[in-house]
A and B are shown apart, each in its own frame.
Chain A
């Protein structure tokens, strides 16, 4: 069974630009969560989607948004990038009330 796939693995953007990250969950998993990981703050919850609906949202500004498609694939978008947005963005999928399965992340560098 294929794991969670995140693309791209690495991304370099300039301040003010926007970026879209993609996540393909494990087949059959309808819940997708996104996390931001930085050395100083650790893993911070961004949002969770289930069946194309956002179920939970973390404490991030409106520049961070996401969506989920009918095939459970998910994207997150960050607009007007800031230097502080440099981080590893992790996606995780799961079955209901089951543990998270993480992808290997997208490393975003904002210059």
Chain B
């Protein structure tokens, strides 16, 4: 079983601040996805990255895939209370099933 480590595990910041969360593995991903899960709901896909070095932007969220395809980061600019949630990365290694990280629980304080 491949392991995905996410850091930090918990993050609490003030509205308007910037933040970055990380997803790391010792193995190479075929592709990597980021999800956000809000309380009482299932995870919702935010983005999929496939190519090493790829950068994707979704409004104030910037996703980067490492050159070696072993790590990824999610940067949020000017965080808002609506960004509060559990952020999960999930990777596919070769032909194996999607493996989820343990998540970063983000709280934005108004």
A contact residues vs B (CB 8 Å cutoff) = 4, 35, 41-45, 48, 56, 58-59, 90, 92, 99-105
B76 within 8 A of A: no
Contacts of A103 in B (CB 8 A): 42
Q: How far is the CA of A99 from the CA of B92 in the complex (A)?
A: 12
Q: Given A43-B88, A104-B40, A104-B41, is A99 in contact with B48 using a C-beta cutoff of 8 Å?
A: yes
Is there a chain A Cβ closer than 8 Å to B103's Cβ? Answer: yes
**Do B45 and A100 touch across chains, with their CB atoms under 8 A apart?**
yes
Contacts of B103 in A (CB 8 A): 42
Complexed CA–CA distance, A43 and B86 (Å):
12
A29 to chain B, nearest CB (A): 14
Report A31 CB to chain B, min CB distance, Å: 11
Asked if B52 CB lies within 8 Å of chain A CBs, one says: no
Contacts of B98 in A (CB 8 A): 45, 100
Which residues of the partner chain A approach B88 to less than 8 Å between Cβ atoms? 42-43
Q: Smallest CB–CB gap between B105 and chain A, Å? A: 10
